Structure 1
Amino acid sequence: MNQQNLPGESTITTLWIIALVCVLLGCCCGIVSALPALIVSIISLVMANKNIKLFQANPGEFLAHSYSSVKTGKIMSIINIVLSSIIFLGYMLYFLIYGAFIWTALATGLTNGAFNEFSDDFNSETYEENSNTWEEDVYRGWEEEVDSIANDTLLINTFETDTLNQR
């Protein structure tokens, strides 16, 4: 009898090695590496199961070491699936928890008005004191060269004076 290797034996071996490398990178590179490792491992497992069924249907046609190589590929694919799933789910959980904390902080800041304090500096009261509106300053800036440093200094000085008088 002329025995041969199982079809796809080398492909299965290559896929589980690639998946293992991606799993190892997944520990440090995160979800970007864990998801491809999961996909490649599933493909390798499906191919290994198909080849094992083929060998069991016709054991005399294929070499025994080819069968053991495919079984090793199946075991390594399962290990890669488990590890990459743990890494993937761990990073997803991390992003969900971290996102919840960020969202809570943003929502609290919006509720308390913490983000409004910057917009209060640019209210119209400062411009009313100088009898210029923001639109007039912009329009005048297009017609003639305006010394923005002097205008900014004036606005800063009036702001400082107003805050000192309030104390």
Structure 2
Amino acid sequence: MEQQKLPNSTLILVFGILSIVTCCCYGIIGLILGIIAIILANKATKVYAENPEAYTGYSNVKTGKILAIIGVVLSAIYVAYVIFLFATVGYAGIMEQYQDALQQMGQ
């Protein structure tokens, strides 16, 4: 019997990597990609558990799931940080700090 590639194994890995890379985009994009990767990884794990000798690419699923979990945690921390900033400093304070940083870079 010929082994076939596990469904969505490469997609899970890519989404796991992208969830870490995009966690600094206010945390929203990384959170979404990470959650999607975890859901797909759970489905792929169930398919693999039913018939492990029929599929290849389970290592991509495991690695992608780990990366997605890391991405979700980092994104959640960043979202909490952004909410904290808006609650304490407000939008005007954040923009003022941003403009100060730009002025310091110009000097």
The Cα shift of 1:7 comes to 0.5
Cα separation, 2, equivalents of 1:16 and 1:71 = 10
Structure showing greater Rg: 1
**TM-score, normalised on structure 2?**
0.79
CA contact (8 A) 2:31 2:72 kept: yes
3-state DSSP class of the match of 1:60? helix
1:96 aligns with 87
Letter in structure 2 aligned against 1:69: N
**TM-score, normalised on structure 1?**
0.52
Cα separation, 1, equivalents of 2:32 and 2:8 = 17
2:50 aligns with 57
Task: For CA contacts below 8 A with separation 6 or more, give which structure has more relative contact order.
Answer: 2
Question: Superposition RMSD on alpha carbons, in Å?
Answer: 1.3
Cα separation, 2, equivalents of 1:15 and 1:69 = 11
Letter in structure 1 aligned against 2:45: I
Aligned residues: 91
Identity of aligned residues (%): 37
The runs of 4+ residues in structure 1 deviating greater than 2 Å are none
Cα separation, 1, equivalents of 2:59 and 2:9 = 10
**Unpaired segments of 5 or more residues in structure 2?**
94-107
CA contact (8 A) 2:20 2:74 kept: no
